[in-house]
Structure 1
């Protein structure tokens, strides 16, 4: 199959969050399986050019109709770790992608509406006719709309669209301008509730809703999150639309890149190990303690790795630190606060705990250190308020770091409670799950993990090994996406 991914991110060249990892990981898996994959991205001025090989002009004068006139673009081609990527560079006074940031402009909706239009024009003008166009998140929600309403009449009637929603919180809310800019034009038609009209604001268009209505298949990034999106407030107002289109909606778990996240070959950790020989993990724990100047002793080491914000359950992350210390465990945090108030709060905690030999808070993000923490910690807490998929718990399992998670989204599809899971056999369980958002729920799960570590060390080791036996690589998701592509091609 010939597949084109169109997205606003692709790790490691453009990465603001998990979206970039998915676009890279899935594309790589599809390529390994022998399919032709190309990726179309914006050419941001601030992307990591050091991860692009052989960047060259691929198409000089891409003329993109815009507001009744046109904007000319250059399209550059290069290889990102073996993946062929095309970067669209508009020559416009709007400087759509030359602003030193990926997201955060007042006109983000227009920026990505233009990118979507330019991506389709590039396919049209170069004669590229992929079997599947795979779009991601609100930034590309207009692609299936324009494909169905415009481009199919210019010889692109056979292209099928798979639309993946990574986060329902950001949907791309815009006004009428976007219709006139892209050439869709007909206001009453697109403002209709069964097309792009926002479910709650009669004066707004919703890019993500358009993607759902017009795509051939929509998925989110875990089966449980797909259920949550339809039946809880996690759908952020799109539950009814998903219900109407439930015949073409599902959930597919993300994978992790096992070339990057693999304790047998990880270049960032001093000692390699696997499930048959965990001596390297014990040595990494010692190395982590030395690096962070923590005390050595017979204590479990619990960690948190990720953003510090409301989605991630920041109040429970804070509570986990002090509960671990009260239970004679150590705690390491590697987190980047996303708001000034949270930043101040955790800097205050960092100063307060600075001389504690059992605690280290590292505020910010450090790729190298994150690998060492995964390799050296005994358990990882993931107390998210909502989590579409979650990668930290999967990486934790791969590194023999027992996950303690809240039962939401993809966390529920990947972590099975050692004591209470009813779906898995005891030898298939791999962590601890709690459900409420209060401190006592978190404490009950942490208490069981710490208690097992102290009182039944052999059984804790067995739990570690059971977690490491799970395969959360891109192998299974890759197969499922191919199944969807095949289904929509022949429908």
Structure 2
């Protein structure tokens, strides 16, 4: 196939010289924006983690506010096709530069719960997205580098010139690099790029071969420390770093996590890059979709409830006990829902199971791990506790059951080592299930301790602990259980405070629109 010539390579746009705060809320009518989200995941059709929920929820909020929103995803073979309406090919002849030639792609369009989605299907021996799962392959960096090039090639070839391109995580971090190195010279001068980093642990660190594949020749240019050269490996490039350098604005998923990644050593080597680009870096707390996570309308729970009929929550508690064959008594239920990943504080979860039972409460766990050793460990715990009428460990994931646990539990445990935002505590708050969390990341931005917060009493909604150790965990968990038994009126006020808080996409949606307006005006 013919070699694709590389166009002239302009410098990336200058970094803003003044801080992005405000986002000042626009009270006057504002023009509608054309926003394209480029993402490796979106709920419910391609979901591994919270990133998928963010794209799903934010897209709807932006559209509700009068903006035109489109989403570009890979066409995985394991998409939930039953959730895609009217899927059909709309662009049959997309040729994407790759190595010394190009790969032919077909682009499909379909609606996912009213969201306008494009799916890119490459026809290649590399078989990038027909592998039965989304991640976990040795060539993941190349797969998503190709997807990033294909997504922006599609925008250019189809004549789309969005106001904002919103990228997510390392998998799409090359999009702003391609835009400013290639496509601006071809006439795509209008779009501005916002990139959201959901977890700094995964960065897409790779070698020079990727530059050959993507047409980013001139390794001396891209290995330069000021562009994509990895901060700790001289002969490596870092895709996430490239996204930070070339994007017009970079967000992460809570203000506290933004601080921790830049100033407290949680940037996994990118701290100095974040300091260099601090004028275009900030945190926006995720929202949750109240159409999905809302006890007033939740179709997965037997009895709907809200602040006006809070006692009906206990009908769901009885249903949860019946489903899991737990004793029906006056004890509180402590729950853990999440991936069985060391990040989530698994050693503290193990301890919490026994501490909860010793304190006269019940414990429910729902989760699984891709690490078979971790799964086996929790299966061993399950067998050990199998005869207990007050404990049930469900090793796996069940969407229906997760809704019932949120509705039926009294206390939700989130003891993470680090937590960029966390959706578990946000959902628990909506269901009046009191969270017990570690004071990190988005947990610290959304949960305020009943006894030790400087917030007004009506804003206190849970329990927190600072140190990642057993005494820290017990300091919060035991206070929560004791409050349930000894001060039921106080516990009920915590439940009401939790349900009164607004963690929908309403506030984050406005925050993102303010960021978009800021970078469009630069």
TM-score range, shorter chain: over 0.9
CA separation in 2, counterparts of 1:92 and 1:301?
51
Q: In the alignment, what sits opposite 1:303?
A: 335
Q: Deviations over 1:43-84 (max 9, x none)?
A: 011111111000001100001111121111000000011001
CA separation in 2, counterparts of 1:342 and 1:112?
28
Match of 2:347 among 305, 309, 315: 315
Q: In the alignment, what sits opposite 2:456?
A: 425
Q: In the alignment, what sits opposite 2:507?
A: 476
The runs of at least 4 consecutive aligned structure 1 residues that moved more than 2 Å come to none
User: Are residue 145 (structure 1) and residue 177 (structure 2) matched?
Assistant: yes
Q: In the alignment, what sits opposite 2:113?
A: 81
Alignment of 1:366-377 (within 5 A): 366-377=398-409
How far apart are residue 341 of structure 1 and its match? 2.0
CA separation in 2, counterparts of 1:428 and 1:65?
53
User: Are residue 388 (structure 1) and residue 420 (structure 2) matched?
Assistant: yes
User: Are residue 236 (structure 1) and residue 268 (structure 2) matched?
Assistant: yes
SS at match of 2:102: strand
SS at match of 1:323: helix
Q: Deviations over 1:462-491 (max 9, x none)?
A: 111011100000010000000000000011
Match of 2:482 among 437, 451, 460: 451
Q: Deviations over 1:338-364 (max 9, x none)?
A: 322211111111001111000010000
SS at match of 1:302: strand
Aligned residues: 490
Q: In the alignment, what sits opposite 1:9?
A: 41
CA separation in 2, counterparts of 1:105 and 1:352?
35
User: Are residue 411 (structure 1) and residue 437 (structure 2) matched?
Assistant: no
Q: In the alignment, what sits opposite 2:71?
A: 39
Q: In the alignment, what sits opposite 1:124?
A: 156
CA separation in 2, counterparts of 1:427 and 1:23?
31
CA separation in 2, counterparts of 1:453 and 1:118?
54
CA separation in 2, counterparts of 1:334 and 1:105?
26
SS at match of 1:446: helix
CA separation in 1, counterparts of 2:220 and 2:92?
37
Q: In the alignment, what sits opposite 2:465?
A: 434
Structure 1 runs not aligned, ≥5 long: none
Q: In the alignment, what sits opposite 1:255?
A: 287
CA separation in 2, counterparts of 1:31 and 1:433?
36
- TM-score, normalization by structure 2: 0.93
More relative contact order in 1 or in 2 (CA 8 Å, sep 6+)?
A: 2
Cα root mean square deviation, aligned: 0.7
Match of 2:130 among 67, 82, 98: 98
CA separation in 1, counterparts of 2:396 and 2:91?
39
Q: In the alignment, what sits opposite 2:383?
A: 351
How far apart are residue 459 of structure 1 and its match? 1.1
User: Are residue 178 (structure 1) and residue 198 (structure 2) matched?
Assistant: no
- TM-score, normalization by structure 1: 0.99
User: Are residue 292 (structure 1) and residue 334 (structure 2) matched?
Assistant: no
Match of 1:463 among 460, 472, 494: 494
